[in-house]
Amino acid sequence: MQQIQQNFAVAGNPVSHSLSPLLFDDFAKQNGKNYFYSRILSTNVNNILEIVNAFDIKGLNITSPYKQDILQFVNIKSEEVNILNAANTIVFNENINAFNTDVSGVINSLKKYINTQKKAIVLGAGGAAKAAVQGLKILGIEDIFIANRTKEKAKQIADKFDINYLLFENIKNEYFSIIINTIPVLIGEIGELKVNDKAILFDANYKNKPLKTLATQNNAVYIDGLEWLKEQGKEAYFKMTGIKNNNLYLQNKDIEKIKKRSQRLAMIGPMASGKSKVGRNLAKILGFDFVDMDDIIVVEENRSITNIFEESGEDYFREKEKQLLKKLVKKNEIVISTGGGVIKDDENINVLKNNCWNIMLYSSAEVRSSRINTDKRPLLKGKDVKSTMEKLFSERKNNYFKTSDIIVNRNENTLEKDIKLIYEDYSKTFGI
């Protein structure tokens, strides 16, 4: 018996950079589960929750800037969430449950190295810094400092957790056996750090490694930010699924595959979600070519989509669609607007997932029915538009979800705002 598909996601802005889908997919494969994980790109928490409801998402990782905003919708908060006033993991069942697995990420990354270390410093004063301080306290570190460029934020955290604080300019006068860096800056910008023998140096951000050189120079233990990501990810997966995972095989080649796919953007989603308009404008900004699959088929067949359906049948159209998609994904620097039903075929899903960065545009049936020209939509001919749209989406939503790399809610923003949102997220991740 085939397992029921369960959907999970990470939400934020920006969000395309998140490696959480790779972690989650690896966990799911190890467990043989029919789980799928996507990214939600949004401008507010309400839009995120609309996507959660539309796709029946069971668990959600929350990243910047919504770790506090999400709490207004939560029924049950874990102890860590109450202490930090921020959540990074939400589980939806009969309640909406909030957790913060960053603390577990800190503890599990550090505990195998901790021995006689008694003096620690956390660099930065944001949410990650608070989680780091809480983790250190649970590990029993007796002397903890928080350091920041400005006094106000450092003192605020110091008072909350009953620890000491320093300004960056003063840390050169102190020795530390544990240094946790939560800011992506060069060491030269925060003073001359002094490191004790057998010290532990830990960069929280997996994209930046400013402590690595210092660790090498002082023969110190160095912990990459990927460890924090992996450890908090293991705990988040457990919270969402109830399954413990200790093995993780995230590899650089998996990250490289994403970079290669990003040269081909595919707009997916139901009819009238704006795939062609968003795709055409996005291609113009990026300097990519733009193609609309339906338009190409119309030209090749010299007849409308409606006529193709009426005269040759849907199966004929779907085969044309499949062969065209295989040709288009061989090109680079291209934005492809797909048809609403392209994801009905498993082969098409595999082609899209292996070759494209897939942007799912979501709009409710009510919003889409107000935009549509039914004369060009053979699946709507002679039917109630809204109810037919709802039925089609219900039948296809799981395929949209498992194909997608990011999902954008188009219920609220203008076309211009959504294009800007997608472009900025894409360019921050892929450096366009």
Answer yes or no: are the C-beta atoms of 421 and 410 closer than 8 Å: no
What angle is formed at CA 41 by the lines to CA 38 and CA 47, rounded to 5 degrees?
105
Question: Per the domain annotation, does 233 fall within a domain?
Answer: no
Q: What is the pTM for the complete model shown?
A: 0.93
Active site residue 67: yes
Residues 21, 49, single domain; the answer is yes
Domain end, chosen from 100, 131, 158, is at: 100
* HEC per residue, 10-75: EEECCCCCCCHHHHHHHHHHHHCCCEEEEEEECCCHHHHHHHHHHCCEEEEEECCCCCCHHHHHCC
Of 76, 100, 124, which closes a domain?
100
Sign of CA dihedral 292, 296, 299, 302: negative
User: Can you tell me the distance from the alpha carbon of 289 to that of 384, in angstroms, rounded to the nearest whole number?
Assistant: 36
Task: Assess if residue 239 is contained within a domain.
Answer: no
252, part of any domain: no
Question: And the tokens for 256?
Answer: 């490289």
- Distance set, CA 420 to CA 410, 425, 426 (Å): 12, 8, 10
Whether 84 and 116 map to the same domain: the answer is no
- The pLDDT of residue 4 is 92
- 386 and 337 in one domain? yes
- Kindly state whether residues 390 and 262 are assigned to the same domain: yes
Domain count, the chain: 3
My answer on whether 58 and 185 are in the same domain is no
Which range marks the domain in which residue 318 is found?
257-430
Report yes or no: 342 and 273 within 8 Å, Cβ to Cβ.
Answer: no
Residues 66 and 120 in one domain: no
Inter-residue contact 100 to 78 (CB < 8 Å):
yes
The answer as to whether 64 is a domain residue is yes
pLDDT, position 184 = 79
Distance CA 326, CA 272 (A): 24
| DSSP one-letter code for 379 | G
Tell me if 1 is assigned to some domain: no
Domain end among 186, 208, 226: 226
Together in a domain, 409 and 291: yes
Tell me, yes or no, whether 139 and 275 share the same domain: no
* 108 and 216 fall within a common domain: yes
Please report, for the domain that includes residue 10, its CATH number.
Answer: 3.40.50.10860
pLDDT at 172: 78
Residue with tokens 């055409």: 280
Whether residues 353 and 414 fall in one domain? yes
Encode the chain (432 residues) as per-residue pLDDT tens digits. 568 999 999 999 999 999 999 989 888 888 888 999 999 999 999 999 999 999 999 999 999 999 999 999 999 999 999 999 999 999 999 999 999 999 999 999 999 898 777 899 999 999 999 999 999 999 999 899 999 989 999 999 999 999 999 998 888 778 889 999 999 777 676 667 788 778 999 999 888 888 988 888 888 999 999 899 999 999 999 999 999 877 776 767 778 889 999 999 999 999 889 999 999 999 999 999 999 999 999 999 999 988 999 899 999 999 999 999 999 999 999 999 999 999 999 999 999 999 999 999 999 999 888 777 655 666 666 677 888 889 999 999 999 999 999 999 999 889 999 999 999 999 999 986
Kindly name the residue from 29, 58, 67, 376 that is annotated as catalytic. Answer: 67
So what's the pLDDT on residue 373?
66
What is the CATH number for 423? 3.40.50.300
Domain membership flag for residue 266: yes
Tokens 């899209």 locate to: 352
In a domain? residue 308: yes
Chain centroid to CA 314:
35
Write out the two tokens for 3: 């397992």
Same domain, 190 and 218: yes
Q: Is residue 379 part of a domain?
A: yes
Q: Are residues 296 and 220 in the same domain?
A: no
The CATH number given to whatever domain includes residue 166 is: 3.40.50.720
Question: Using CA atoms, how far apart are residues 268 and 285, in angstroms rounded to an integer?
Answer: 19
